[in-house]
Amino acid sequence: MDDREVSPGEGRQAVGVHGVRPTMKDVAEAAGVGFKTVSRVVNGEPGVNAATAQRVRVAIERLGYRRNDSARVLRRGRTASVGLVIEDVADPFYSELTRAVEEVARANGSLVLAGSSAEDPERERELVQTLCARRVDGLIVVPAGTSHEYLLPDLAAGMAVVFVDRPAGDIDTDTILTANALGARAGVEHLIRHGHRRIAFVGDAPQVFTAVERERGYREALAAAGLPADDSLVFMGPPRLTPIRAVLEEMSRLAEPPTAVLTGNSRSTVAVLRSLASVDGGAGGRRRLALVGFDDFELADLLVPGVTVVAQEPRQLGRIAAELLFRRLAGDHGPSQRIELSTRLVARGSGEIPPPVESG
Amino acid sequence: MDDREVSPGEGRQAVGVHGVRPTMKDVAEAAGVGFKTVSRVVNGEPGVNAATAQRVRVAIERLGYRRNDSARVLRRGRTASVGLVIEDVADPFYSELTRAVEEVARANGSLVLAGSSAEDPERERELVQTLCARRVDGLIVVPAGTSHEYLLPDLAAGMAVVFVDRPAGDIDTDTILTANALGARAGVEHLIRHGHRRIAFVGDAPQVFTAVERERGYREALAAAGLPADDSLVFMGPPRLTPIRAVLEEMSRLAEPPTAVLTGNSRSTVAVLRSLASVDGGAGGRRRLALVGFDDFELADLLVPGVTVVAQEPRQLGRIAAELLFRRLAGDHGPSQRIELSTRLVARGSGEIPPPVESG
DNA sequence: GTGAAAGCGCTAACAA
DNA sequence: TTGTTAGCGCTTTCAC
């Protein structure tokens, strides 16, 4: 065998000329075997003589060969990757969900292509289209927008799609949701049970599906208890400190101020906590507002008082969505499913603060 | 033009036969133009008659055509994607870093293929190799292992690699780090300045690069202040509640128990906080241990007392790493860089608790 | 302005 | 057990 042939990777080191990748053909030449034999060895297919296989492996090592999956994908049609579109990886809710999806993907020999939409429908669409162009086998989407007809061609081509946390706008797909209304309702009922009659709701912007659902649950609970709905106790806006602090200020100046709050997600909860901390001046100051937060968060138990929450299960959401996706990819063509995961009320103190005694 | 030709996507809807994707050739036939003209339109290349282009666009719409990037990648050599290997997306430190990388990638027209190594060198290697097989243009790695020679062929083939948070084991690459030793040193000096002489260190496992560096900074600070190093005040282990609670128990029973602690990362910090909460019984109980945590975390300011931290900048880490990566991809072949980001001490209360008055 | 031909690196189908 | 041939769907090159 003559090793001096002109081929990448020549020399003693397992390095090629800069920018040149050895191919299966190069390996085949180096090992003095046919092209397809290398393919067999690389993919662990049976029917290769042990000695031949060994020679091939040596050549692979020497040349620093690495299979080009782009070519493989093109030929086989499957990419062994799934796309994930969420709102923001830096948000613990989504990063936990992401981790669960990753875990399931790994178990199924798949990689995750992820991107954050930043709550922007245009960006969501771009991301999804890019992922489709990459021919991901399946897609898990937390939609920011409400129209998803643009997915029809891909659906028709056999791509599996699962929506999580929020439903698709106008197409029929598998959907995994949290029982938002029920959860919010349970939170308000908890406050009512502890004596509250004036309960505020600080939710996310009304474009967000979950925000609206939770508001609905909030109103249902009030109605069921025969309490009046008062729009001056409801705030639907982005979970940022300044507007939330302002609205709490405003509510506190009402003739009948709220004695308790339900928040719509953990960002809102944190914003409310910060507002109260700065107003109450920590421990002292005015009377304490009871608080139940939708969505759990780390350290909720270490705050004083501990923060009572309606806990969701982002990991479950991600796991179940991914498992369903891979079931679809494995050939399950049953009718599309809509699964709702129930919430869990975790009492830690803030939600059990009684209203101040009536004193004018 | 005859629309009744046998081709995918026939019919009124923009959907193909299940599992069949229209190709450029299909679009070309439907539009009655050449193959290459479609390519020009799809890629926005100049030199196409406006009317022709319009006909092509209509055909694309009607067939629900979507470019196959796998084929494109195969031909062009670049994938417009970068790989990211971290320890765990669900950890806020890494999810923030991830978000920053995503942001920069997006600005450079790239997608992020991410995976968590779960602190397992084998898994890290698997992930990296998979990403290399996918021919990501570049790679950002938070290494779990200490040997990275397996990357040599890819490096030689022109793949850009940047290591973040921890250096590579045995190859020469760009590296972005936090000034771990200096940061830890600053934390200990802060405690010394507040009167402490018996300061414990609760760090991560000694396999973790950052843990060792921070321990070094801790010891340097003690030495510089002429304080003795006492191994019974040092714990290096996984940041889980049970072992940490046990070791704090143990330390508190020493003849000269510590009056302050420096923790090695935010998980350790939280574990220490939980241990103290369960031992102190909240506000009352025994005397308070002063605490400085390495790495900031959400709500550190809302706890009582606020938690003093040596803050790192995960976003900066991710941003700078990604920017450097894309600079490399753009052709910057300068010598490999090692950048250290400084930390910032944020005093919030827990680190300013004085030691108890000598009375024992 | 447009199109035909070649080939990216691999796998599937079929010889030998 | 091994090798040969034909594409996967696109971009590149070059001819019209």
- Chain A residue with Cα closest to B283: A304
Amino acid in the structure at residue B353: I
**Residue listed under structure tokens 């060994």:** A54
Q: Is the CB of B47 under 7 A from strand C?
A: yes
* B249 backbone dihedrals φ, ψ, rounded to 5°: -50, -50
Comparing C-alpha atoms, which of B178, B177, B164, B176 is closest to residue B98?
Answer: B164
Inform me whether the pLDDT recorded for B71 exceeds 50.
yes
pLDDT band at A20 (very low <50, low <70, confident <90, very high): confident
Distances from the Cα of B119 to the Cαs of A100, A106, B122, B158, in angstroms?
Answer: 16, 15, 9, 27
- Find the closest chain B residue to A65 by CA distance: B153
State the pairing for strand pair A199-203/A260-263.
parallel
Q: Is the CB of B106 under 7 A from strand D?
A: no
CA of residue B123 relative to chain centroid, distance? 16
Mean confidence (pLDDT) of chain A: 91
For B184-251, the three-class secondary structure string (H helix, E strand, C coil) is HHHHHHHHHHCCCCCEEEEECCCCCHHHHHHHHHHHHHHHHCCCCCCHHHEEECCCCHHHHHHHHHHH
* Cβ-defined contact of A302 to B277 (cutoff 8 Å): yes
Q: What is the pLDDT of residue B17?
A: 43
Of the candidates B91, B154, B303, which has its C-beta nearest A303's C-beta?
B303
Given this model, what pLDDT does residue A47 score? 85
Asked if residues A72 and A23 have their Cβ atoms less than 8 Å apart, the reply is no
Q: Tens digit of pLDDT for each residue in B34-43?
A: 989 999 999 9
Q: How confident is the model at residue A13 (pLDDT cuts 50, 70, 90)?
A: very low
- Which residues in chain B have their CB less than 8 angstroms from residue A130's CB? 111
Alpha helices in A83-228 (DSSP H): 92-107, 121-133, 152-156, 180-193, 209-224
Nucleotides of D under 7 A from a protein CB: 1-5, 7-13
User: Using the beta-carbon criterion (under 8 Å), do B302 and A298 form an inter-chain contact?
Assistant: no
**Closest-CA residue of chain A to B109:** A130
Tell me how far apart the alpha carbons of residues A320 and B84 are, in angstroms, rounded to a whole number: 24
- A129 is near strand C: CB distance < 7 Å: no
Does the beta-carbon distance from A69 to B135 stay under 8 Å? yes
> Which of A99, A134, A268 to probe by mutation at the B interface, max B CB count within 10 Å?
A134
Question: What one-character DSSP code corresponds to residue B128?
Answer: H
Check CB contact under 8 Å for A129 and B90. Answer: no
pLDDT at A247 over 60: yes
Per residue in B324-340, pLDDT tens?
A: 999 999 999 999 999 99
Residue A2 has pLDDT above 80, yes or no: no
- With beta carbons less than 8 A apart as the criterion, state whether A179 and A342 touch: yes
A21 touches strand C (CB under 7 A): yes
Rounded to 5 degrees, what angle do the CA atoms A341, A345, A346 make?
125
Q: Which of B138, B129, B164 is nearest to B79 (CA)?
A: B138
Nearest to A259 by CA among A199, A203, A218, A202: A199
- pLDDT band for position A357 (cuts 50, 70, 90): confident
Residue-wise pLDDT for A308-354, tens only, equals: 999 999 999 999 999 999 999 999 999 999 999 999 999 999 999 99
Q: Place A280 in a pLDDT band, splitting at 50, 70 and 90.
A: low
Query: Cis (ω within 30 of 0) for the bond into B305?
Result: yes
- Tell me the one-letter amino acid at B333: H
pLDDT digits (tens, 9 = 90+) for B227-283: 999 999 999 999 999 999 999 999 999 999 999 999 999 999 999 999 998 775 444
Q: What is the pLDDT of residues B139-168, one digit of tens each?
A: 999 999 999 999 999 999 999 999 999 999
pLDDT tens, position by position, B165-208: 999 999 999 999 999 999 999 999 999 999 999 999 999 999 99
Alpha-carbon torsion A200, A205, A211, A213, what sign? positive
pLDDT in tens, A137-155: 999 999 999 999 999 999 9
Q: Which amino acid, B73?
A: V
Q: Examine the pLDDT at A18 and tell me if it is beyond 90.
A: no
Nearest Cβ partner for B92 among A92, A113, A152:
A92
**Is the separation of the CB atoms in A305 and A353 below 8 Å?**
yes
For the segment B10-20, what is each residue's pLDDT rounded down to a tens digit? 332 333 345 68
What one-letter code names the amino acid at B294? F
Q: Using the structure, give the distance in angstroms from the CA atom of A48 to the C1' atom of C5, rounded to a whole number.
A: 36
Q: Which two tokens stand for residue A120?
A: 């922007």
d(CA A78, CA A237): 42
Residues from chain A that touch B88, judged by Cβ atoms under 8 A, are: 99
Cβ contact B299–A299 (<8 Å): yes
Contact: A70, B283; criterion CB under 8 Å: no
